[in-house]
Chain A
Amino acid sequence: MGGTVKESNQVSGYITWFLVHGVQTGIGMLNFQQKIAEGAEQDAWVSVLFVGACMHLVILMLFRLLRMAEGGDILSLHRELFGPVVGSGLSVILFFYCVLMCTGQIRPYAEIIHVWVFPDAPLWQVSFIILAVAGYIVSGGFRVVAGICLLCVVIPSLVLPSLYFPLKFAHWLNFLPLWSHGLSDYVKSAAKSVYVFLGPEFLLFYYPFIKNNAKAQKWAHIAVAHTTLLYLIILVTTLGYFNMRQLRHTLWPTLILSKIIRFAFLERFDYIYIFNWMLVIFPICCVSIWAAVRILTQTLKFSRKWALGTTLLVIIGMVLSLRTPVSIERLENVISRVGSVLIFGYIPLLFLIAIGRQAVKRSRSARSN
C-alpha cells in the first residue's frame, strides 16, 4: 500500500486547476491548428468544442473511479482489482506512458529550438538542460511540482494578449461557409485534437495529494473549460489569420502568428514565445516524471533517487533515439493513439470493472446480512 499522504505534502484543491490545465497545454499548442484543420478545415473549432466536452465526462469518470480506490490512486486500484502481480504489471505499463508523454514534449521542443534558435546545438544538450531542471524540481516533491504548475500557467498567460496583433489582420470570411463538412471530417479533426487535450489522466497519480480531493472536481472542470477556451481562442485567431492553403503549409502556426509582432525595442517576438514555451511544457515534464517516479517507488520499490535517475535516463534515451522530424511526427501519433486508448478505452473499462466489483461486494454483504 502506498499509505495515506501526509498533509504537509498535500496541496489545496484549487491547485487541481493548474495541474490539469498545465498538463493539458504543451508543445501541441504550437501546431495543433494545422493538424486538426486536416479534417473539418474551417469548422475544426466544432471538433475542439466536442473533445472539450468529452473531457468533462472523462473528469467525471476519473473522480468517480478514484473515489472507489482505497489508496486514492491508480496504483492501489490496480492492486485491488487485479492482485499484486498483474496490478503492478499494469502500473509499470503506465510508467511507459508517463515517459512517453515527457518525451513527446521535450523532443518537439528541442526541434523548435534547433530550427528557430540554435541550429548548431546538439540535441543532447537541450534535452539535458530541460531534464536537469525537471529533475531538480521533481526531487523537491509534489508541492514543488504543483507550484511550478501554477507559475507555468500564470506566467505564459501573460503573452496571451499578444494575439491581438494577428487578430488585427484576421479575415473573418475565412470561417465561411459554416458547418459545411460531413460527420467523418469532424470525427477526423476530433481524433487529431485529442492529443492536445491529454493530461487529466495524471489525476490517477496525484489525486491523493490533493486536500479534500473529492471536492476538487469543480476545479478540474474549470481547468478543462479553461483549456478548451484557450484552444478556441488560438484556433479562431489562426483560422482568421491564415487561409486553408497557407495553414496546410505552415509547420508551427502559433509561432508564425507571433512573428508579425514588432516593438521599437524588440524585433522578433517569436523568441519570447519560444522561451516562454519552455515554461508551458514544464508542467507536463514535471508531472509525468513525478508520476513515473511514483510508479517506480510504489510498485518496484525503487528508492526515490534511483527512480528519478532511471526515469530521466529512459527519457533522455528516448529523446536521443528520435533523430528526424519524421520520427517526431510518428511519436506524436503514437502518443495521440495511446492517450486516446487510455482515456476513452482503458479508464471507462476500469470504471466498469470497479463498479461491477462494488456491486458484487454490496450484494454479497447484503446476502450475508
Chain B
Amino acid sequence: MDHPGEKRRPDGGRLTLDLARKSSDFHEFSPYEEDAGFLRIAYYRSLVAAEKVTHFLLPALQKHRPRLQHPDDLRGILPFAEITLTNAEKEAVAKIMEGFVLLRMGLAEGVYVLANLDNSQMGQRQSNDTENEFSVVGPKAGFVENLDTNLHLLRAKLPTPELIIETLTIGSHSKTKVAVVYLENVTNPEYVQTMKRRLQNFDFEVLYDTSQLEEILADNSNTLFPLFLSSERIDRITYAITSGQVAVFSNGSPYAMAAPANFLGFFVSPEDYYLPWVLGSFFRFIRLLSVMFSIFATPIYVAVMTFHYEIIPESMLGPLIESRIHVPFPPVVEVIFLEITIDLLREAGARLPSKIGQTLGIVGGIVIGEASVQAALTSNILLIIVALSALASFTTPIFKMANTIRLLRFPFVLLAAFWGGLGITAGFLVLMGHLIRLKSLGMPYFVPLFPFRKGNLDDSIIRASYQYSFHRSLFLRPLSAFRYHPRSRKEDGDVE
C-alpha cells in the first residue's frame, strides 16, 4: 500500500532480496553444481515444504536441464500448479513471504519466476471441535486457525459457484490474508462493497484475530455491544451467508464474523434449528428471558432493599430480613461484592488450565459462597439471585454478547443504588436509545423490533416451523427473498 505514512515504517517500502538475505532461514543456492550462475533458487526454509523441494522441485530441474533455455520454460518443467513470472523485485519478495520459491536464471536476471510450495498446513491443530459455542444436537465441527482449511470447510458445505470468496491482505507486518465471503445473487452488493471498502481503508500492523477487525470496522467503536456476529461454528456462518450476510475470515483466526448483524441474532443458537420448532422457540424465549433476568435481577434487589421495601409482601419480608439481619453493608456494597466475586471466578476459570480451572471453579464458588453467607458478608437470598443471574448470562450463545450482558448490570446496580426504580427505568431508556441508535454496516442494529418488521419476527423472537419461515430476513435486503419453496405433504401426493 502506498500512502504518505509509509516512510515512517522501515518495512513497507524496501522489500528487497538483500533484506531477506539477512535472515538465517533464507536459503539461496543453485541446483547445478557445475554451472552455479545458470539458475538460482531462493526461499524461506520456514515457509516452504522441504519435502516438496527435494521430491519434486530439484528432480524436475535436474531431469529437464537440457530443455531449460528461458525463464518461460520453467512453466512447462515445474510440476506445480501456481507459477508466476514478474519483473518487480518487490512483488517477488512479497510472494516469497507467502511461501513461494524464487527461481532466477543467470541469463535473465530481471525475471523472477515464483512457484508456490508453501507449507501452510504445518503447525496447525488437527482437531476442529467447537470449543466455546457448544451444542448438544448438530455438527460439532468448527473453524481452525488456517484460512485455507476454513474456506475448504465452507466450500464443502456450500458447493456452489455462487459462493464468492475475495481475498485481501491486511497488516503491514503480518500480511494476513483476509477473505470476504458472500453469496452472489443473495447478498446485497451494498454490504459487500461497504465491507470491502472498510477493509481496504484500514491499516494495521499485526492482525491476530478476526475480533480485532470487528472493533476496528464497527460503525461505532464506543459501544459495549458487538456489532458484528463472530462465530467459530461452520453451520452458523453458513446460515449467516445464506441469509444474505457477508462473512469475513482472517488467516490465523478460528473465528469468522458475519455482518450486518442485529441484536436478536446474537441470541439465536444453531441448535434451535435442529430441535422441533416449538422447543427451539421455547429455548430462544428462555434465552431472552435470562438476558432480562441477568441484567435486571440484582439492580431490582438493590432498588427494593434500599428504597422500595414496601412492595415486598409481609409473608416474604420475614425471610428477607432474616437473611440480611447480620449483614453490615448496604445492599449495593453487598451486591457489588458478590458480583465482582463471580466475575473473578469467571475470569480465573477462563485463564486457568482447563483441568485445574473446573475444580477450582466449583470449589471456589461453593466455598466462597457458603463462607460469605456464614460470615454474614452477604445474604443467602442475594447469593441465589447473583448465582442465577450469572448462570443466566451464560445462556447467550455468542461469548462476546454474554460478556456485554454481564457487564451491563453494573451501571444498573449503581443507578438502582442512587435512584431506585427511577434509576433502573432511566437506565433502561438509555439502553434502548443506545440500541436503536446503533448500526451494523449501516443496518439498524435493533431491527426487527425497531424499525419494526412484522414478517421477520418468525425467525428472531421465535423459531417458526420450516413450513412457514422459508423466506430470508428482509431487513438484510437480500436479492432473493425465498430460501426454498415449502411443499405440503398433500402436494407430494402422500397418502393421508
Contact = CB atoms under 8 A, between A and B. Distances in A.
Contact of A268 (B311, B315, B426): B311
Given A12-B451, A262-B313, A113 B422 contact: yes
A344 to B, nearest CB: 33
A137 B421 CA distance: 20
Contact of A129 (B315, B426, B437): B426
Interface string B420-433: 11111110011011
Contacts of B451: 11-12, 15, 147
Interface string A120-140: 010001100110110011001
A137 B311 contact: no
Interface string A233-251: 0000000000000000000
Nearest to A126: B422
A264 interface: yes
A12 B444 CA distance: 13
A129 B436 contact: no
A268 to B, nearest CB: 4
A148 B432 contact: yes
A271 B421 contact: yes
Interface in A120-174: 121, 125-126, 129-130, 132-133, 136-137, 140-141, 143-144, 146-148, 150-151
Interface of A is mostly: helix
B426 A151 contact: no
B433 A275 contact: no
Contact of A278 (B426, B430, B444): B426
B310 A137 contact: no
Interface in B386-438: 419-426, 429-430, 432-433, 436-437
A298 B436 CA distance: 25
Contacts of A147: 432-433, 436, 446, 450-451
A148 B421 contact: no
B137 interface: no
B384 interface: no
Contacts of A183: none
A120 to B, nearest CB: 10
Contact of B423 (A129, A143, A146): A129
Interface residues of B, number: 29
Interface in B293-347: 307-308, 310-316
B307 A278 contact: no
Given A117-B307, A140-B437, A267-B312, A129 B422 contact: yes
Given A144-B436, A267-B310, A267-B313, A150 B452 contact: yes
* 4 nearest CB pairs, A to B: A147-B436, A147-B450, A137-B433, A275-B421
Interface of A: 11-12, 14-15, 113, 117-118, 121, 125-126, 129-130, 132-133, 136-137, 140-141, 143-144, 146-148, 150-151, 262-268, 271, 274-276, 278-279, 282
30 contacts: A12-B451, A117-B421, A118-B420, A118-B422, A121-B419, A126-B422, A129-B419, A130-B426, A132-B426, A137-B433, A144-B433, A147-B432, A147-B436, A147-B446, A148-B433, A148-B436, A151-B432, A151-B449, A151-B450, A263-B313, A266-B311, A266-B313, A267-B312, A268-B311, A271-B310, A271-B421, A275-B422, A275-B425, A278-B425, A278-B429
Interface of B: 307-308, 310-316, 419-426, 429-430, 432-433, 436-437, 444, 446, 449-452
